[in-house]
């Protein structure tokens, strides 16, 4: 098996739970995913099968989410699965006041990861250390938020704001909910999250876990999942050099150090790095 699956992760399970279930269903050990989703979250989870796992580092950084922020509540996990830390009435909030705050959360921003996250510190996941009662100091990270659009506003004691967010790798929507609530002086937590696009895979074309089986394997090609890369087709002579790990002389290569997808007879045979008139093998795939 070789290729990608567009999995619609259900709520209540971890991304690794999905991997384990797919290994059982497909009787395949070599499976990986293209970006962790929290247990509470649903939506697009890119899955790589077989040698396609070697292509995971080259997936696009850009992801899109629909998230709902609940104001007036803060939690230990920055979402509604955690214990409530503080609670207050936030019925005075207006959509206009919120929209004034949103621009500061767009562009390149500093973001402090949630205490309960999969980030490793001193060889341990933050969530494991938080569950053990440790308070770990983690420096903020630079993340990129390309767009925030308001989709819905529900006033009330704990008003809720639904947002469409396009962001880069490493962005925590939970942290954005927390920080937006703090900026408004009432606190906030993430009430719902769905990833609607990742690496060019869209929620409308995703498949539920229960529908995937060896006899029903809706594979996506590497070319589709890595469509943000330039692609180069090799001829037979070039392919021989490629398979032996030798740089291939090519015309029309992108600028030096560019990542290039490589095919032969429309099949993906790896990833190269451009350098002058040569393409240097980085990942070589042989069927």
Torsion angle (degrees, nearest 10) of CA 127, 132, 134, 135: 40
Residues assigned a catalytic role: 38
pLDDT of residue 138: 77
**CATH superfamily of this structure's domain 229-284:** PUA domain (2.30.130.10)
Task: Enter the pTM of the model.
Answer: 0.92
CA distance 42 to 194: 5
User: Per-residue pLDDT tens for 5-63?
Assistant: 999 999 999 999 999 999 999 999 999 999 999 999 999 999 999 999 999 999 999 99
Output the CATH code of domain 63-198: 3.30.2350.10
Task: Indicate where the chain has its CATH 3.30.2350.10 domain(s).
Answer: 3-60+199-224, 63-198
CATH of domain 3-60+199-224: 3.30.2350.10
Counting Cα atoms < 13 Å in the Cβ hemisphere of 64 gives 11
Distance CA 146, CA 246 (A): 39
Strand segments, DSSP code E, in the chain are 3-9, 31-33, 42-49, 63-71, 73-75, 84-87, 107-111, 120-121, 124-125, 141-154, 160-167, 188-198, 201-202, 207-208, 231-233, 248-249, 259-264, 267-275, 278-284
Please give the pLDDT value at position 3. 96
Tens-digit pLDDT profile for residues 129-184? 556 566 666 789 999 999 999 999 999 999 999 999 999 999 999 999 999 999 99
Mean pLDDT, rounded, of the chain = 94
Banded pLDDT at 216 (limits 50, 70, 90): confident
pLDDT at 118 over 90: no
pLDDT at 208: 96
Yes or no: say if 126 and 116 are a contact pair by the CB < 8 Å rule. yes
Angstrom CA distances, 5 to 2, 47, 249, stand at 10, 5, 33
């Amino acid at each position: 098996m070789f290729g990608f699956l567009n999995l619609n992760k259900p709520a209540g399970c971890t991304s690794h739970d999905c991997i384990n279930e797919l290994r059982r269903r497909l009787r395949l050990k070599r499976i990986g995913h293209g970006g962790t989703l929290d247990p509470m979250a649903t939506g697009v989870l890119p899955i790589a099968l077989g040698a396609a796992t070697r292509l995971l580092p080259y997936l696009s950084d850009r992801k899109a989410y629909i998230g709902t922020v609940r104001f007036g509540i803060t939690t230990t996990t920055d979402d509604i699965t955690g214990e409530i830390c503080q609670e207050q009435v936030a019925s005075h909030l207006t959509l206009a006041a919120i929209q004034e705050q949103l621009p500061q959360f767009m562009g390149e921003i500093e973001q402090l990861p949630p205490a309960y996250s999969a980030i490793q510190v001193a060889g341990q996941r933050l969530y494991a250390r938080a569950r053990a009662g440790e308070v770990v100091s983690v420096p903020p990270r630079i993340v990129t938020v390309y767009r925030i659009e308001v989709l819905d506003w529900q006033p009330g004691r704990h008003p809720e704001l639904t947002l469409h967010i396009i962001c880069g790798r490493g962005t925590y929507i939970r942290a954005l909910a927390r920080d937006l609530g703090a900026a408004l002086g009432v606190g906030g937590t993430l009430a719902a999250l769905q990833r609607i696009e990742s690496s060019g895979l869209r929620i409308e074309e995703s498949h539920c876990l229960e529908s995937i089986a060896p006899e029903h394997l809706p594979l996506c090609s590497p070319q589709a999942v890595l469509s943000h890369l330039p692609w180069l087709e090799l001829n037979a002579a070039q392919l021989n050099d490629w398979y032996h790990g030798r740089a291939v002389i090519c015309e029309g290569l992108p600028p030096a150090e560019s990542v290039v997808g490589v095919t032969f007879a429309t099949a993906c045979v790896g990833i190269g790095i451009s350098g002058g008139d040569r393409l240097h093998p980085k990942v070589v795939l042989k069927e």
